[in-house]
Structure 1
């Protein structure tokens, strides 16, 4: 496994940031996500996760958005017991284990080959879990995924690390390939150059991979494909789970949600096609 780690590129290492955040959340007295499997996976990997410098604020936000995306996946599966779930840029995440879908559901994890190779070493095997080692820049990533079943696609932590041109291509290809379904993502609104520079300092090991500034208007992707329709825009600052935050963080998060720009800084967006 040591060789596998040394072969990872900086963009592939971004998967470690979110994985470690979920792991640390599970150790807290009042976890938001409570994904103990994430901590077990981190323990299997010979890597200096502490050196990533993941702050408590990022841990909370990572855990919260994962919980919200899990909730939406469960709701979709309840409505479509034969669903296909696709995790884009899956990293080492284990939403399938958290959601616990019935055996009628197939779950696909898509990521770059090196990450998928590592994933297959540390993530528990499931007969209905499928790994796709592929770049999202190549439309062939959908070749192995059924197109005729209700499909729920998740992009958790992906948007910051892809150029806008690739994001547009992705948002166009998804409704072209899949007959019907939903795409659920987390985003950060329109990120200023100053904030991106700050991210590069805080996340010194992988921060330079943050390249996309995002968008303020959640309806912008509707212009990328005529089949996409925005059906949800939820600010993380306004959800009940923020009550689990420590007092200072809870107050500052609620205050942030009082303004439009603050509320857009961390969102769950969901599109139907």
Structure 2
């Protein structure tokens, strides 16, 4: 990780703040617990290096419960990613909408994998000040909806595509086109991402797309097969605070609430 303080005070106080700094802050908060869900020490180190009004951000993201949702989501995707890489140690990894996530350090701390992280150019400019490109790790500044960047990713081996906290912000047409481009480009691999319940998307103007279940995606793209879909409440036993374990157990008992956030794993 690069050294020295990084000035993030100019980051706009809008939806970008949540996706860029909010999730990083909540993963760092989780790491402070005696028994963290994710244990992302890299997020904690990054927060210490960023110059930003985190007191204001804390009031907005309200840690104390929301970090468990973020931690459970990331933990499931990490577990799926680690299992895929154990089966395919020579795979390529492509993470879309990477933000300030440290997944490449959590799953590949030695930089041995051919790993590409992609996000908007302005996000990548900030990211480069926090995380170094080392080993075979590379960053790409581009929108996922643009053409061209995918040609930079070699397609000669299985690929793990990770899209955490991204697809709900895209339109259905953009998601469908993106998934088609991925399966056309790569001969085989897995796609892992999170989705929200349709009613959540309807209530929040920031979100645009949600699958009702994995069959929605299979109907769009016959090359994609839904191997698993797991509500984040499934792993509530990992929550280290009893009152939140009870809350998540109650949420899990109600289908509409159980599917507030679901992790998906597709093979192709």
TM over 0.5: yes
Q: Distance in 2 between matches of 1:168 and 1:181?
A: 17
Q: Distance in 2 between matches of 1:176 and 1:9?
A: 37
How far apart are residue 85 of structure 1 and its match?
0.8
The residue aligned with 2:126 is 118
How far apart are residue 213 of structure 1 and its match?
4.6
Structure 1 residues 28 and 10: CA distance shift in structure 2, 3 A: same
Contact 1:12/1:112 (8 A) holds in 2: no
Structure 1 residues 243 and 77: CA distance shift in structure 2, 3 A: closer
Q: Distance in 2 between matches of 1:194 and 1:183?
A: 25
How far apart are residue 258 of structure 1 and its match?
2.0
Structure 1 residues 7 and 27: CA distance shift in structure 2, 3 A: closer
Tell me the alpha carbon deviations over residues 152-200 of structure 1, each in whole angstroms, 9 at most, x when there is no partner.
011111123222221121111110111110100011221346742xxxx
The residue aligned with 1:6 is 10
Contact 1:192/1:213 (8 A) holds in 2: no
Contact 1:18/1:62 (8 A) holds in 2: yes
TM-score, normalised relative to structure 1: 0.87
Q: Distance in 1 between matches of 2:55 and 2:39?
A: 19
Q: Distance in 2 between matches of 1:111 and 1:213?
A: 19
Aligned-residue CA RMSD (Å): 2.1
The residue aligned with 2:75 is 67
Aligned pairs for 1:83-162 within 5 A:
83-100=91-108, 105-162=113-170
Q: Which residue of 237, 255, 260 corresponds with 1:260?
A: 255
Q: Which residue of 36, 39, 61 corresponds with 1:54?
A: 61
The residue aligned with 1:248 is 243
How far apart are residue 260 of structure 1 and its match?
2.5
Q: Distance in 2 between matches of 1:243 and 1:97?
A: 22
Aligned length: 259
The residue aligned with 1:212 is 208
Q: Gaps spanning 5+ residues in structure 2: where?
A: 1-5
TM-score, normalised relative to structure 2: 0.89
Contact 2:9/2:53 (8 A) holds in 1: no
How far apart are residue 65 of structure 1 and its match?
1.1
Q: Distance in 2 between matches of 1:85 and 1:102?
A: 14
Tell me the alpha carbon deviations over residues 110-168 of structure 1, each in whole angstroms, 9 at most, x when there is no partner.
00001111111111442111101110111322111111210001111112322222112
Contact 1:216/1:264 (8 A) holds in 2: no
For 2:212, what is the secondary structure of its paired residue?
Answer: coil
How far apart are residue 48 of structure 1 and its match?
1.7
Structure 1 residues 19 and 243: CA distance shift in structure 2, 3 A: closer
For 2:214, what is the secondary structure of its paired residue?
Answer: coil
Structure 1 residues 110 and 8: CA distance shift in structure 2, 3 A: farther
Contact 1:191/1:214 (8 A) holds in 2: no
